[in-house]
Amino acid sequence: MPGNTFGHMFRVTTFGESHGKAIGVVIDGVPAGLSISEQDIQRELSLRRPGRYLVSTRRESDDVEILSGVFNGRTTGSPIALLVRNVDVVSKPYEELRYTPRPGHADLPYILKYGFENWDYRGGGRASARETVARVAAGAVAKKLLGVIGVMTSAHLVSVGTLSLGRDVSFEESLCFRVNNFRTCCRDFDRNVESYLENVFREGDSVGGIVEFISSEVPPGLGEPVFDKLKADLAKAFMSVPATMGVEFGVGYRASSMKGSEYMDSIVVRNGRLRYEKNVAGGIVGGLSVGEEIRSRVYFKPTSSIRKPIRTVDLRSMDEKIISVKGRHDPCVAVRAVPIIDSMGSIVLADHALRAGLINPVKLSSEDRDRAEDVWRRYEEIVRRRCGG
């Protein structure tokens, strides 16, 4: 079974390679009646676009075309096909690298599985993070659909290398990633990340980082016991993003060194609602959402393509060889991974909202549509109010 499709009711199939003609996605399962435009999708795609300072210098405008499934600005219930053409393709540096696989990238594993002669070596081929354009396009549709139940999603960069934000932020504050260059929640930290990455880049090196996913409060009941628990599906979605090393929820790995009394989260009544006092679990208990914000952190490794010398093997002679990777690379992939994590989280929540019966899977009412539009506008309102964006 190939693995290019994700989700059950909100079902996403991506296609395309880094240096092929285009990247695209087919989304099946979006109910009829959701307003969606190319501008809506463009708004999210602009957050992951390369070609900025200290991210890959590949210049892609990432203009999206809606090929099907939308008529008169509304979804019809048919599969939605979205296409983004690759424009700025420079394959020359990869001619040299072809016989000297980059350790840490997917070059050698793809050669071993699919055969050297079938491997698209240009820019990482299918293993390139260029594929995630399709995920962010699908994420825009998922985000819009989640508006029907009033749920919003966000993500932000919480650390690069040894530099860390070091404090918790509110959902609204995290949305400022949308206007800050390095996709952090706040200007000061953004500036620190910039100078940190400048040094790393100057040395011809790269660093890892951590991205936090946050949703607004999610209604209880999302998640399907026992294998499709919400945290299991989120973890799979996040871990399918290239360069991820781990996922944690709430207090996360720290829980393993805590005492039960320390971890314990009291159930309390607030404003007539049952709540968890500290939300240590990150909004998911027993695999189900419990009415709190979902909080998860995703760990990224350093970019494997670096200018510093790397040891590998020349596949023609089988001799060891030293390479230095000169192409257009991100010194820290976690920066551009922020909108990708946001999108993958929204895809999982939309899928589970449909599965839980919280969104009509066939047709949205006009109230549903209006609510979705309101929530969609709220993203920009919050950013304007909180971040001066």
Ligand X SMILES: Cc1cc2nc3c(=O)[nH]c(=O)nc-3n(C[C@H](O)[C@H](O)[C@H](O)COP(=O)(O)O)c2cc1C
Stretch that binds ligand X, among 25-33, 125-133, 221-229, 275-283 (CB under 6 A): 125-133
Among 56, 154, 215, 346, binds ligand X (CB under 6 A): 56
| 169 closest CA partner among 235, 214, 231 | 214
Q: Does 337 bind ligand X (CB under 6 A)?
A: yes
Q: Does 66 bind ligand X (CB under 6 A)?
A: no
Q: Does 305 bind ligand X (CB under 6 A)?
A: yes
| 166 closest CA partner among 177, 178, 175, 157 | 157
Cβ neighbourhood burial of 357 (10 Å; 0-12, 13-18, 19+): exposed
Which are the contacts of 259, defined by CB distance < 8 A and separation ≥ 6? none
Minimum Å gap between C-beta 250 and ligand X is 24
Of the two residues 230 and 243, which places its CB atom closer to ligand X in the complex? 243
Q: Does 14 bind ligand X (CB under 6 A)?
A: no
Q: Does 229 bind ligand X (CB under 6 A)?
A: no
Of the two residues 333 and 356, which places its CB atom closer to ligand X in the complex? 333
Q: Does 106 bind ligand X (CB under 6 A)?
A: yes
Among 41, 129, 149, 356, binds ligand X (CB under 6 A): 129
Q: Does 350 bind ligand X (CB under 6 A)?
A: no
- Written as one letter, the residue type at 249 is F
Minimum Å gap between C-beta 220 and ligand X is 32
Q: Does 330 bind ligand X (CB under 6 A)?
A: yes
Distance, CA of 7 to CA of 16 (rounded, Å): 19
Q: Could you tell me if residue 248 is left (phi over 0), alpha (psi between -120 and 50 degrees) or otherwise beta? A: beta
Minimum Å gap between C-beta 327 and ligand X is 7
Among 336, 352, 355, 369, binds ligand X (CB under 6 A): 336
Q: Give the number of other Cβ atoms within 10 Å of residue 102's Cβ.
A: 18
User: Site residues for ligand X, window 233-272 (CB under 6 A)?
Assistant: 241-243
Minimum Å gap between C-beta 237 and ligand X is 13
Stretch that binds ligand X, among 165-173, 175-183, 189-197, 296-304 (CB under 6 A): 296-304
Lookup result for tokens 């008169």? 72
Tokens of 159: 């650390």
- Cα distance from N-terminal residue to C-terminal residue, the chain: 45
Minimum Å gap between C-beta 288 and ligand X is 29
Tokens of 69: 């499934």
Taking a C-beta distance cutoff of 8 angstroms, is the pair 185, 176 a contact? yes
Give φ, ψ of 319 to 5 degrees.
-90, 150
Lookup result for tokens 């999210």? 44
Distance, CA of 28 to CA of 12 (rounded, Å): 7
Q: Does 60 bind ligand X (CB under 6 A)?
A: no
Whole-Å CA distances, 370 to 133, 149, 150: 27, 11, 11
Of the two residues 56 and 184, which places its CB atom closer to ligand X in the complex? 56
Stretch that binds ligand X, among 287-295, 311-319, 333-341, 346-354 (CB under 6 A): 333-341
| 345 closest CA partner among 211, 224, 253, 245 | 211
Of the two residues 6 and 276, which places its CB atom closer to ligand X in the complex? 6
Which residues in this chain contact ligand X in the complex, by CB under 6 A? 56, 105-106, 124, 127-129, 241-243, 301, 303-305, 329-330, 333, 336-337, 340
